[in-house]
Amino acid sequence: MLGNENEQRPTFLLVDGMALLFRAFYGTAVTGQFMINSKGVPTNAVQGFLKHMLTATNHFKPSHVAVCWDMGSHTFRNELFDGYKANRSDAPVEMIPQFDLAKEAVQSFDIPNIGLAGFEADDCIGTIAKASAKDSRVGILTGDQDMLQLLDEHISVVLLKKGFGNYDVHNPHSFYEWKGIKPRQMIDLKALMGDTADNYPGVKGIGEKTALKLLTEYESIEGILENLSSLTKGQRAKIEAELEMLHLSRKLAEIKCDVPISCSLDEAYFQYDDEKVRYMLETHEFRSVLRML
């Protein structure tokens, strides 16, 4: 499922740790199921995260796996724009001890944990995906549609849907059929329409529908700006009023693929010691995950 099945290449699954961990946390936190173990530590996020990861490895059978994480909330994007993600509240108190616990759990499977201060997990994933696509078929497991900009011939994006084991797997062809634009145009799409989750505005008054129409017609932000006179009076006024924010939003939307990190295929070979994993699961009382082994 990760790319062309007839190709004899290794398959490398890059897991968006943050996206899966938060998804798992909020999936159970609404009903107050924090799954607190006998040491008083909540484990709902980690158990859900592991279930997502293991369900995906069972489904896609990758030969290599790595997990990428945010390393603190401050990144180069905050330097560019004060308001970046400023709308997000602090992580819930039940979540705090689960960040380190998740990394410990990943380590017990002999899977690399990757992250770099000043950058987001997305940037680490983008960097490793592009570097690894030369020798492997890469799949990115996430709930975050921003990752779709990374799609190419050897990189697919696996978007989690509701529940466990339900996926939308995208390649450049399926993405084009869905949105009518190429993956790289996703950056300009976000620059135009902004992103409420990451708290940058793009061009006020331009939504996805208009942004897609403009990109289909003029291909890029440069193309749109060269053809301002062909736009409707309203569209032109909105873009001219927000030129600076448009260019800034594009910088915020683009995933960096040249972060100074690396993860070789050798480091990410997926093979774990069953006893070591069971010991970790039993120690932390991850009962729902134990049943999956």
pTM higher than 0.85: yes
| Rounded CA separation 83/199 (Å) | 7
pLDDT at 113 over 60: yes
pLDDT at 4 over 80: no
Mean pLDDT of 94-110: 97
DSSP string, 261-288: ----TTTTB----HHHHHHHHHHTT-HH
E strands of 54-99, at which residues? 64-68
pLDDT 10s digits, 136-176? 999 999 999 999 999 999 999 999 999 899 999 999 999 99
pLDDT at 5 over 70: no
Chain position carrying tokens 């896609």: 60
| Rounded CA separation 269/66 (Å) | 9
pLDDT band at 29 (very low <50, low <70, confident <90, very high): confident
Q: What is the pLDDT of residue 240?
A: 97
| Rounded CA separation 50/10 (Å) | 23
Q: What is the pLDDT of residue 3?
A: 57
pLDDT: which is higher, 88 or 128? 128
Mean pLDDT of 222-237: 97
